[in-house]
Amino acid sequence: PDAAAFDAAAARNAALAKPPGALGRLEDIALWYAGWAGSARPQLHRPQVIVFAGNHGVTAREVSAFPSEVTAQMVVNFEAGGAAINQLARTFGARIDVHALDLARPTADFTQGAAMEEDDLLTALRVGWEAVDPGAGLIVAGEMGIGNTTAAAAMAAALFGGNPRDWVGRGTGVDDAGLGRKAAAVAAGLACHRGHLLDPIEVLRRLGGREIAAMAGAIAAARVARIPVLLDGFICTAAAAVLERLSPGALDHALAGHCSDEPGHGRLLAALGKEPLLQMGLRLGEGTGAALAIGLVQGALACHSGMATFDEARVSTG
């Protein structure tokens, strides 16, 4: 981030006509954004929501309440403007881009072998990287992929340890037996790839999926372009965690947009030291939780950049 812009924004914040700290986290958001945007008085221009979709071989383990064909059906729905993320992107003035990654060719079942070959992984990372609009003022990366909460749980367990049961949740709504199958799949994946999971990129390749790799690519590209990011749910955060494990501090340009109802998400955010902006019980993915938080960033920047100072407003200080 730009230290001069951050410092100038902090000085402006201290001069605004309000008691010190009275805007709470809105002040933190504004200073964080100012540092990354390189402007002491930034505006939020052109937020971009990017939704990546992929299919997962681990669905053979019956880990989802929905069939794999739903991934492609939802991509059609995204393109027709009918999904939740379309409505939220429109509400907060964000453009939305949808990238379906080789849906007809699911990843391999990670309980049996690596989810992706190296060239699959690289292609997916590049799709994500290139999806970022260099002129965007904020990036939300979302996903759709039947089976991908199981992949994210396996990645989280590989990256941060703990029992598979700690990381799995009901996803789209599996019952107790389904939850048991998810934990068993995670355990089988960790066993299958034992000895190869110290490298975070190998965790992504062996246990992840194309849409997860694409989100990691997008978040990394945003970092290089100094574009602030709002993290979405469990799967997005698992993708982001790969970057943090590769290079601590790699997510300093990202805030956690929300904490989902998927129990592993709160655990993962705590491991990353990220306090979520929203906790609204969402568990849909698509980027919906982060998109909802765009409004908070808009509000924070509007206050920071639009308010009068004590001097301008001729308000007495305390």
In angstroms, what CA-CA distances link 74 with 52, 53, 54, 173?
A: 11, 9, 11, 17
302 sits near a second copy (criterion: CB under 8 A)? yes
Candidate segments 52-60, 120-128, 181-189, 296-304, binder of a second copy by CB under 8 A: 296-304
Tokens 């805030």 belong to residue:
255
Q: Show the binding pattern over residues 34-73: x = contacts a second copy (CB under 8 A), - = does not.
A: ------------------------------xxxx-xx--x
CA distance 232 to 242: 15
Q: Quick one: which of 14, 25, 105, 117 contacts a second copy (CB under 8 A)?
A: 25
**Catalytic one of 27, 202, 244, 286:** 286
173 sits near a second copy (criterion: CB under 8 A)? yes
Nearest to 151 by CA among 101, 198, 100, 188: 188
**Residue 286 is among the residues annotated as catalytic for this protein:** yes
Q: Quick one: which of 9, 26, 98, 236 contacts a second copy (CB under 8 A)?
A: 26
Q: Are 220 and 250 in contact (CB under 8 A)?
A: yes
Q: Quick one: which of 195, 248, 273, 318 contacts a second copy (CB under 8 A)?
A: 318
Diameter of the chain by CA atoms? 69
Contacts for 141 with CB less than 8 Å, ≥ 6 apart: 50, 52, 128, 214, 215, 218, 219, 229, 231, 232, 236, 239, 287, 290
172 sits near a second copy (criterion: CB under 8 A)? yes
SS3 142: strand
Could you give the residue numbers annotated as active site? 286
List of residues contacting a second copy (CB under 8 A)? 16-26, 64-67, 69-70, 73-74, 76-77, 80, 82-84, 86-88, 90-92, 172-173, 261, 277-278, 280-284, 288, 291-292, 295-296, 298-299, 302-303, 306-308, 312-318
